[in-house]
Amino acid sequence: MNALLKSATIVDSKSDFHNQVVDILIERGVITKISKRISNPNNYQEIKLDNLHVSQGWFDSSVSFGEPGYEERETLANGLKVAAISGFTSLALNPNTNPVLDSNADISYVLSKANANAVTLKPIGALTKSSEGTDLAELYDMSSAGAVAFYDYKKPIDNPNLLKIALLYASNFNGLVLSFPQENKIAGKGVMNEDINSTNLGLKGIPSLAEELQVARDLFLLEYTGGKLHIPTISSAKSVELIRAAKAKKLDITCSVAIHNICFTDDKLLDFNSNFKVMPPLRTENDRVALIEGLKDGTIDMVTSDHNPIDIEHKKVEFDHAAYGTIGLESALGALQQLFSTKKAVGFLTKGKERFGVKSYIISEGEIANLTLFNPDTKYNFSIPEIRSTSKNSCFLDSELKGKAYGIIANNKIEIR
């Protein structure tokens, strides 16, 4: 693949060309020249886009598709296409398929389906067999096949001894264990955050205590085992405090926050819109502000879209019975730029790679081209026509967003909307 990017503003603080408007020559997938003006004697494909900005490729640590088993929600082929035009050059794929990705063969299957794609797919294997929380899955075999972490998606590990054993066992091969932060006995049958809004709406609530107890437990287990733990999608102020204290102890802990949890509060549920029914639930303004502060000071290591396509039959139903989840790949940049500068937003979208075994490439001559192309200044209403995902369950529908990806250049391929 050969291409010439014209008049591109580089957003990469590690590059010598940061904040400069330049031409970028790419030959056979490698950046061979960066200069103010580059001629095109070999008649390579020229990419000229309005207000073109280029950064290191973006990464998402929590993406669900559907295939195998739930192709009506999303296929791997279309999901990877959506990720590419949303600006993501790599993603970690959750194992919540049917069957659950809990074996060497399952990991090999999704990798083969994603082979030769512009987007690099990093599969997460189930932590327990069939994600049932009873017996550990084949962690080492899945790691050998290419799994980058182990997680029962959105399912807490109720048995603390099982998580202890998982942390100890995975440490033998530097495996990363993920633990969903919820104590189910406290959460009960709640469907939203427990607070004044749940009372007013007459809906059962999930107190933030359910998350915080589990986070505290998991951190004690991590300190005991000396393992390697990632807590996905925290949502409460107290969770931020607990993880901040654990990092001060030098524990091997990282965590993420879903973009919708820093953009919205449980006020969004006042009209029973099931697109805002997510897990963990949207919480209070105090929690939202604490999460943003956690991102700013580095307590929270990365953001995720927590992209989870849900078909209309499971979303457009009575709120109590609606499935949890929202899509988020296509709105990620636009949502983040409602809260942060372009530099900070891009910084958050490029963090977390090392934790999940994804290599970073600086925008520099001689480096492999792993680039996201975007316009940070486009303002638009996020509506159904903007969505290429098969499922349309976005909590950002009808939101005014700022910034849109054009696509990516990665794995010696160009993928532009």
φ, ψ at 231 (rounded to 5°): -105, 110
**Which residues, at least 6 apart from 42, have a Cβ–Cβ distance to it below 8 Å?**
2
> How many other C-beta atoms can be found within 10 angstroms of the C-beta atom of residue 141?
15
DSSP letter, residue 153: T
| Given 12, 23, 218, 306, the catalytic residue | 306
CB atoms within 10 A of CB 365: 14
The Cα 254–Cα 298 span in angstroms is 10
**Residues 6+ away with beta carbon under 8 Å from 313:** none
3-state secondary structure of 164: helix
Q: Is it true that the peptide bond before 280 is cis, omega within 30 degrees of 0?
A: yes
Distance separating alpha carbons of residues 70 and 257, to the nearest angstrom: 25
In the numeric block, the tokens 């559907």 are attached to: 66
Q: Is 306 an active-site residue?
A: yes
Residue 141's contacts (CB-CB under 8 Å, 6 or more residues apart) are 103, 104
Rounded distance between C-alpha atoms, residue 329 and residue 90, angstroms: 12
Spatial distance between the Cα atoms of 252 and 90, rounded to a whole number of angstroms = 23
Strand, coil or helix: 11: strand
| 409, 373 Cβ separation under 8 angstroms | yes
Beta strands 149-150 and 413-416 are unpaired
Residues annotated as catalytic are 306
